[in-house]
Amino acid sequence: MLKTLFLNPPSYEGFDGGAGSRYQARREIKSFWYPTWLAQPAAMVPGSRLVDAPARGLSLDDVLPMASDYELAVLHTSSPSFPADAKVAEALKARNPQLIVGFVGAHVAILPEISLKTSEAIDFVAGNEFEFTIKEIAEGKSFEEVDGISYRDGDRLVHNRPRAILEDMDQLPHVVDVYKRDLVTDDYFIGYLYHPYLSVYTGRGCKSRCTFCLWPQTIGGHRYRTRSVDHVVSEIAKAQEYFPHIKEYFFDDDTFTDDLPRAEAIARRLGEMGVTWSCNAKANVPYDTLKVLKDNGLRLFVVGYETGNQQILHNIKKGMRIDWARRFSADCHKLGIKIHGTFVLGLPGETRDTIKETMHFAKEVNPHTLQVSLAAAYPGTYLYDQAKQNGWLVDSDTGGQLVDGDGTQVSSISYPHLTQDEIFQAVADFYREFYFRPRKMFDMTSEMVRDWELLKRRLREGGEFFRFLGTRQKSA
Ligand code: SF4
């Protein structure tokens, strides 16, 4: 077995670009997802080590000495961080020329050839379902024998046949063993989750076909392939034993509620264990299921509302109706399920009026907290091709820019009737309009007064948030 390092490489300071982040960027407030995509293969390679440089605050100088201790390094990359990650690969290779360097992640799965051509330090890139691919390489199989990779053979680039789709998801290992071995749970913050939290995936893929959404169109697919209820519950039981201080578990599947009977079955088991948990959901869960989930420990849903305009929902193929979202939100409020609502500005069909309509809608459905993002055209998505064909992609010559020089998200889309600057500015206006309302400020203050830990945390996050708004003001 090759001595293997799994590395979330250092890039921008505070960059939440790890092997668990859907849209990689430096956030308004400090935020890190667990590097679950790397933890999965790491759990299959005995003696390996997973290093999450951004979350640990490690620089290139900190990780470079590790190059000499390993024979194989597997780096997780993303579209925004790829140029920086390639430089890390070059530095590791310069330190240890014998080191085999492989890249994984949606970016290289979609663009294997361009990725390999970018840097000779990258020996191979792995496509989808890469856990068993990496295991086989770590076991010493030659590149020709391994499905699911593209690699360099002298001057030639070779593309092996794709890896078969994993159907029996219980073959995936429990990642909490790797979390325990290699990670520090306190490093991981998400503004709307209790701290410390812990997240895992219980399945892969999403049934919906939203045109902007990265993972289902690139690495997950449109079938929700799931681990069995027992496999999930036994991992949470193990995590409770390993990490008694964890306050909340998060199921970070694209849409945990895509299979309602299974979601209810998992909930009932978690309810018996007294677990507080949260998950990603689509705004179409019926009241009876909501009640079962809430009665069994569900605290919060992350809900992608995206927009308050029905035509934009059609344009992005969300398969959602504004009135369903209204009813779902009312049901959650009634049952006491908190919602972190996510919205995207600049999707096809956006105008100044639809931005106002979405702001109004957000205040109406009134999620507990919200996140407003800029439409991001990632290679491999329908939106990317659409934006390119229609001339909406900013910096289209370079494939579209997703973040600026310090890793903060920038508008990658601009329309003749709505410029990238207007979309960018609207994000800060949206936050102000939503949070600086007497009702919202009263609710948030009351919540903080009742919870000392929350108060301390909100004060820190508040400072970061105001700095973010200030930066937007300056750059407007
Ligand atoms: S429902 Fe959510 S996870 Fe599924 S494709 Fe749409 S945005 Fe992506």
Per-residue pLDDT of the chain (476 residues; tens, 9 = 90+): 999 999 999 977 666 666 677 766 665 667 899 999 999 999 999 999 999 999 999 999 999 999 999 999 999 999 888 999 999 999 999 999 999 999 999 999 999 999 999 999 999 999 999 999 999 999 999 999 999 999 999 889 999 999 999 999 999 999 999 999 999 999 999 989 999 999 999 999 999 999 999 899 988 999 999 999 999 999 999 999 999 999 999 999 999 999 999 999 999 999 999 999 999 999 999 999 999 999 999 999 999 999 999 999 999 999 999 999 999 999 999 999 999 999 999 999 999 999 999 999 999 999 999 999 999 888 899 999 999 999 999 876 555 567 776 767 777 899 999 999 999 999 999 999 999 999 888 888 888 877 777 766 676 666 666 666 666 555 54
Query: Residue 411 C-alpha to ligand 1 middle, in angstroms?
Result: 20
DSSP annotation of 318 reads: -
Query: Residue 366 C-alpha to ligand 1 middle, in angstroms?
Result: 21
Residue minimizing CA distance to atom 3 of ligand 1: 254
| Ligand 1, CB within 6 Å, residue ranges | 206, 208, 210, 213, 216, 254-255, 282, 304
* Region label for 64, one of left (φ > 0), alpha (ψ between -120 and 50) or beta (otherwise): alpha
Query: Residue 346 C-alpha to ligand 1 middle, in angstroms?
Result: 17
Query: Residue 2 C-alpha to ligand 1 middle, in angstroms?
Result: 37
Residue minimizing CA distance to atom 8 of ligand 1: 213
How far does CA 450 lie from the centroid of its chain?
31
> By the 8 A CB rule, do 32 and 60 touch?
no
Among 22, 96, 5, 9, which residue's Cα sits nearest to residue 402?
A: 22
Query: Residue 306 C-alpha to ligand 1 middle, in angstroms?
Result: 10
Best substitution site from 210, 282, 315, 381 to test ligand 1's pocket, by max atoms within 8 Å of Cβ?
210
In sequence order, which residues have a C-beta less than 8 Å from that of residue 451 and are 6 or more positions away?
A: none
* Coil/strand/helix, residue 422: helix
Ligand 1: nearest atom to the Cα of 217? 5
Strand-by-strand arrangement of the 248-251 sheet: 197-200, 248-251, 277-281, 298-306, 338-345, 369-374
> By the 8 A CB rule, do 164 and 170 touch?
no
Cα Rg of the chain, angstroms: 22
In sequence order, which residues have a C-beta less than 8 Å from that of residue 113 and are 6 or more positions away?
A: 150, 157, 159
Query: Residue 74 C-alpha to ligand 1 middle, in angstroms?
Result: 28
Give the DSSP letter string of 211-227.
TT-HHIIIII-SS-EE-
Report the sign of the C-alpha dihedral through residues 396, 398, 403, 404, in that order. negative
Residue minimizing CA distance to atom 6 of ligand 1: 210
Ligand 1: nearest atom to the Cα of 282? 1
Residue with tokens 């919906």: 208
Residue 468 vs residues 28, 431, 463: alpha-carbon distances, Å: 6, 11, 9
Give the DSSP letter string of 233-249.
HHHHHHHHHH-TT--EE
Residue 66 vs residues 7, 51, 58, 88, 254: alpha-carbon distances, Å: 10, 10, 12, 12, 33
* Coil/strand/helix, residue 102: strand
Query: Residue 213 C-alpha to ligand 1 middle, in angstroms?
Result: 6
Residue with tokens 């400072």: 463
* Coil/strand/helix, residue 15: strand
Best substitution site from 23, 201, 213, 282 to test ligand 1's pocket, by max atoms within 8 Å of Cβ?
213
Ligand 1: nearest atom to the Cα of 222? 5
Query: Residue 11 C-alpha to ligand 1 middle, in angstroms?
Result: 27
End-to-end CA distance of the chain: 54
Distance CA 255, CA 470 (A): 34
Residue 297 vs residues 189, 208, 269: alpha-carbon distances, Å: 21, 26, 10
Among 411, 428, 407, 429, which residue's Cα sits nearest to residue 420?
A: 411
Whole-model pTM: value is 0.93
Ligand 1: nearest atom to the Cα of 306? 7
